[in-house]
Every structure is written in C-alpha cells, then in structure tokens.
Structure 1
Amino acid sequence: MYTVTCSLDKVGLIKRFKVVGQHIQSLPPKMAWVLCKHPLRRFWAGQTALASGNHLAVIIMLPIQENPNKTRCYLEDLLETYAIKKSWPIILGDLNFQFDKSDNVDVIKIQEVLTTYRLKQIVTVPTHNKNHILDWVITKNKEIIKDIQVTDKCVSDHFVIAFQLDIQKPPPKKGTVVTRSKDIDHAKLSIYLSSKVQEISIDSGCDKVEAFNTITTNIFDKHAPLKTRTVTDKPAAPWMTATIKEAKAERRRAERTWKASKLTLHSPYLPRFPPRKC
C-alpha cells in the first residue's frame, strides 16, 4: 500500500484481516483516517463525505477467497444501507470479479444488482497484471468522474486508478461572534471599578451580587463595548502548528518594519523573510 501523490484532501484506507472481528486501526494522527468498519459480518467498508452535495466515497474490501454468492449479498446489503439516504456513494474497490468477462455468470448477477440501484461500473481497461478488470469504480452519475487513468506503478499486481471529480466546493460557512475590545487602560478600569463597587450599600447578599453584576457590566460596556463580528468558518489545517504561526507572524513584522523605514539596517530580514508576491 503506497501513496501516489501528496495532493490529497482526504485519504481513506481499508485493511483486510485474517481474524474475523479484529478492529481496524487508524494510521498516525494527521496522516490519514480509517473512517469506519461496516457492521456487516466479514465485510469491510470505509466512507468519507466529499466536499459537495450528496456524494460519498466508499472504499470496500471483500473477504479473501469468498464465495461469489456471498460477495454479491454483501454488496447488495451495502447498497441497501444507502438506498434510504440522500447521499449516494462512489464505490471503489477490488471486487475480485473479472468485469471484462461479460458472459460470466457472477459478473452478470453483480451487474443486475447494480442495475437495480441504477449504478454503473465505469472502468473499461485492465486493472490487473493478468489483463483483467478486477478493480471497479461504481457510481450513479458517471458525469462527475472525469479523466480516468489506470497506471501500472510496478509495485503490485493491481494497478492504480486515478480520476478527477467534477464537483463544486461549497462556499465557507459564516457565523456571528460577539467580542470586546482588548485595547483598554486596565489601570483606569481597575480604579473606576473599585470606586463604583465601594458605593454599593445594600445589606442583602443576593441584592448586593445583582448590583455588583449590573455595575461591572455597565462599566465594561462603557470602556470595552461589545462588538459583533462576522467570521468565516475555515477548514481544519492540522499542519498549521504554533511554530509555523510564529514564523509567519515574524515575517509580517519584518515586512512592516522594512516597508516603513526602507533602511538598509533592516535588509538582513529580507533573505530570511522574502516579501510576498501580491
């Protein structure tokens, strides 16, 4: 098992086990995700939501040397779980059926199952070194799958299947947050707050607490009024560590210093932090 490219949004891996019931273990954190184990006995399937619409990528792994009839039942049970959902999958995996043998009884039966759910297998060239189509790409809408390429990387008896998905990236979600300004004189705020609190002359404990809360709220509203901001929900970036954030902040400080002064004194910063291109 290997990676062809690092330009991946998500990676889903399914592993075949010799022991029935053994749990799927995930890869190291921030590397990839093993997404789920299908509840069907002796059948493994992982799914990941794509970044648009009602599409799912489902990677399946069939049991070793399984009876063809059982394999067809497993696949049909898997499809039934999606029949009642809005999300229809793009199914990827080694089904171990020679799709190029259209007269094969097992292939015909699998095709009938796919037809029932209005699905199609769209790989048309051999995916195995024995010149057969064993690895299938199954979808309901073949128009979203573009530029399918099957490549022999010479590291396995199976070939690599690569393709582009013609889907639109959804716009980022926006939300509203309420904040207070941090640019306040803490010394003056402390003195003003102390003087106002001392003016409280109520004996009842509950009333005194309520008066204290009212005074402090009014004071903060005066010195640091609430502000409403619209923020954009950004996708998670696990590679953005504290070290990288500090380096980017230092680069921006160096740029501002050099742009403001234009002095050769600040030129040593430039080799370390090249100006960004607009």
Structure 2
Amino acid sequence: MNLVVTYRPPPSSQNGLKTSTFLEECELLLDALNEIPGKLLILGDLNIHFDSPSRYDVARIMNLLRTARLIQYVSSPTHRGGHILDVAIAREDENLLCSVQIDPCLLSDHYTISCRIQSKKQTLQSKPTLFRKFCNLDNQRFSADLSSKLSGVQMTDDLNKFISDADNIIKCVLDEHAPICSRKSMTRHRPKWYTDDVDAARREKRRAERKWRKALRLNPASDPLPYHEAKTLVASAVSDSKQAYYHDIFERSSPKDMFKAVNELLNKNKRVLPNAESSVELASAFCSFFTDKVRNIRKCIDDLNVHASVLGLVSAKPNTKLSSFNLVTFSNLEDIIRKVPDKTCSLDPLPTWLLKKRILVFMPIILETVNSSLESGHYKPKGGRNTLIGQHLLGLHYAHSN
C-alpha cells in the first residue's frame, strides 16, 4: 500500500502561492501515483473547501479525482470554521477504507480523522531450511577421520574417479560428524538495523496501547500519557539503532559499500528491467548485447593488429611452443587457497571456510588433482563443473551504449 501525506499551505501575498499552480502539480502527482503498483491512500490538509462544490478549485480537483477513479471519503467538517479541509482519498475499486470518523480535537483547530483500513494481515510462510551444526563439530576427531580415510584414495589414470571417490569420502565423514538437520523457519522481513532494543520497545508500546484502550472503555478521559511516552521510546530506539547501524557501515566499509548504503538511504536501489514482450525476448536481448560486445572487442583488436602490421610495428612471432606446465608446489597452492574468499556453493562437499581451516588435511588430494591435470593438460570433470547461479543484475545499460 502506498500512503501519501500532503499539506498545501493557504495561498497568500506573502508566500506567493497560487491555486492554479497547486492544481497543475496535483494533476502531475495523481498521474505519477497511478503508475505505482499497489493500493493508494492519500491523506492530508489541502486547505480547499470541499463543502463548497460550486467553487472553481473544488470543481477542478473533484474532476481530477473522478478522472483518476479516486474518491474523497471525508464528508463532515474537519475544521472549527465548519469547512472540509482535510481529505482521505482512495481508489473506488479497491474498497480500502471501511469507515471514516471525525473527532473534535482540543489541541488544534483541525479535527482528528480516524480511518479504518480494510486490509488482510500478511500471513507468514514457513519454509524448510537445511543446515549443519558446525559449532558442535569435534575438530580433532574430524581431522583424524578425514586423514585416515583420504589416505586410502589412490591416484589412477581416471582423474574423474579419483575426484569422485574423494568427494564421497568427504561427504560421508562430514555427515557422520555434522549431519544435515532440517527445521522450518518463518519468512519474516526484518531490516538490518532492527535490534533487540527496538523489539523490546515495540512490545512495551503495544502493551501500553492495550492498557490505555482498555481503560478508555471505562473512562473516556483516561490518561494516554504512558502510551505516548512508549511511542516516543520506540521512535528513539529506531533512530538510535539506525544511526548506530549506518555509522558502523560508514566506519568500516569500502567506498563501494558506502555508496551502496547511501543509495539505500536515498531509495536509489530500484532497478527496472528493460521493456520486453516476453522473458524470451528479454533474454535474447541480453544475449545479443554481450555477443555484439565481444564481437566489437575482437574487431577492434584485429584492426589494431592490421594497422600495426602495415606500419611494420609487429615483430616476428617466436618459433616456440607451449608443451608443458610447471607443477604447483605445496606452499604455492596453500597460499592460493588461503587467499580465496569464503564463498561456497550448496553442491560443494563442504564449506570453503572449513576447507581452509583444515587445509593441511586436504592438501595432498588437492595438490595431486591439480598437478595431474597440469601434467596431462586435459581436465574435464563430470560433476565438478556443476554449480548453482543466482540472478543479480549489476547494471542495465545495454540499451544505451556498448
């Protein structure tokens, strides 16, 4: 649901505001809101006398609402002067508002508008989650079992069988020491800055609200101060939690993460796919874009080579051939593995961080696999090339330039 709160200052000679300008901007606003998906509710003080339909500004704005298929639900005076200045506007086909109640307010010249929204509470869905309890893993026993069982794997001419046997042994040992567990988790959206303090403050606010509403049935003049204080504490807890979260990000993050956080604060992370009649057409457009890009790069390289050969800048190619690779040493391979990021696919026999933690146990197998592949110059594993890829669009600029 999209909630829009508006306020229009009354025009005067001092502020230079004009009713005609407001009506033009209002028309642009309604056109923009109709393009946003979701239900729409507009609340606010427009300072227009909706109780006088014969006035030009009222007739104009009511015509704009009818064109946009919107309804103004407030029909009683909302001001001490007896006029309808405040509005509650929603689409006529969405049946969003069940009732609208006007209550006099002693603190302002405007009355309080209470709206009851007809909306279903979103049900939380549970999904099964598979995990391993690595915190209960006995590292010494795990390393000992791996070493004893992997020592029995012998290198043969079939490199695929060697890798498959090693993977099966690793999976069996891992299942023995940290078996796969299953649990159902509720898909509940929580912002990253949401903390236990915010949660506790929200529970206290709900408790104070229930207590105040219960007392309100017995005594209409019951004191709402504890409830208002609880609301203030929630707002303060949310503000403090957000400040601490983003301050920590800006303190320890790289420039890339910092710009990402700024875009999140400014709501600039919205990415829209290009227009396409079908998903097949969109996928073909992406494919054509990258294919043409590679073709253009190759053409530029060929043109540079031709230009250099014409000018005599290209030297004669040496009469050498690449016949073999240098084998990898234990220390070089260990250094490479320790520097790779801890990224893991669910198809891997064990997580990358656990491999790096027990690297000395796995090094003989990995070193044998790498050097055997380098010696033969040919490596096509049957199952080692499978992976799971998630979609993540980094930028959609192919429609603009290459």
Flag whether TM exceeds 0.5 (same fold): yes
Moved more, 154-163 or 69-78: 154-163
| Higher strand proportion | 1
Runs of 4+ in 1 over 6 A off after TM superposition: 206-212
Alpha-carbon distance between aligned partners in 1 of 2:149 and 2:141, rounded to the nearest angstrom: 12
Deviations 1:215-259 (A, max 9, x none): 433311233232344322124384634996xxxxxxxxxxxxxxx
Deviations 1:18-67 (A, max 9, x none): xxxxxxxxxxxxxxxxxxxxxxxxxxxxxxx3xxxxxx222123356231
Residue 4 of structure 2 aligns with an amino acid whose one-letter code is: V
Instruction: Among all aligned residue pairs of Structure 1 and Structure 2, give the percentage whose two residues are the same amino acid.
Output: 26
Task: Give 1:137's match in structure 2, choosing from 88, 96, 118.
Answer: 88
Residue 221 of structure 1 aligns with an amino acid whose one-letter code is: D
Deviations 1:122-165 (A, max 9, x none): 11112122221111111123743133222233222222211111
Whether contact under 8 Å (1:175, 1:230) holds in the other structure is yes
- Is 1:240–2:193 an aligned residue pair? no
Unaligned runs of 5+ in 2: 12-16, 201-402
Alpha-carbon distance between aligned partners in 1 of 2:143 and 2:62, rounded to the nearest angstrom: 77
Aligned to 2:121: 169
Whether contact under 8 Å (2:73, 2:100) holds in the other structure is no
Moved more, 140-149 or 102-111: 140-149
Paired residues, what number? 189
Where in structure 2 are the equivalents of 1:1-278 lying within 5 Å?
Answer: 49=1, 56-62=2-8, 65=11, 66-141=17-92, 143-181=95-133, 184=136, 186=138, 187-199=140-152, 215-236=169-190, 238=194, 240-241=196-197
Shift of 1:212: 6.2
Alpha-carbon distance between aligned partners in 2 of 1:79 and 1:243, rounded to the nearest angstrom: 36
Question: For residues 243 and 232 of structure 1, do their structure 2 counterparts lie closer, same or farther at Cα, with a shift above 3 Å needed?
Answer: closer
Q: TM-score, normalised by structure 1?
A: 0.57
SS at structure 2 position matched to 1:120? strand
Alpha-carbon distance between aligned partners in 2 of 1:135 and 1:243, rounded to the nearest angstrom: 34
Question: For residues 86 and 194 of structure 1, do their structure 2 counterparts lie closer, same or farther at Cα, with a shift above 3 Å needed?
Answer: same
Question: For residues 158 and 239 of structure 1, do their structure 2 counterparts lie closer, same or farther at Cα, with a shift above 3 Å needed?
Answer: farther
CA RMSD of aligned residues (A): 3.3
Report which of the two structures shows the higher radius of gyration computed on alpha carbons.
Answer: 2
Whether contact under 8 Å (2:49, 2:85) holds in the other structure is yes
SS at structure 2 position matched to 1:162? strand
Aligned to 1:253: none
Alpha-carbon distance between aligned partners in 2 of 1:72 and 1:164, rounded to the nearest angstrom: 28
| Higher helix proportion | 2
Whether contact under 8 Å (1:82, 1:88) holds in the other structure is no
Question: For residues 112 and 177 of structure 1, do their structure 2 counterparts lie closer, same or farther at Cα, with a shift above 3 Å needed?
Answer: same
Shift of 1:73: 1.3
Q: TM-score, normalised by structure 2?
A: 0.41
Moved more, 73-82 or 143-152: 143-152
Whether contact under 8 Å (2:72, 2:87) holds in the other structure is yes
Residue 148 of structure 2 aligns with an amino acid whose one-letter code is: S
Alpha-carbon distance between aligned partners in 1 of 2:39 and 2:33, rounded to the nearest angstrom: 6
Unaligned runs of 5+ in 1: 1-48, 50-55, 245-278
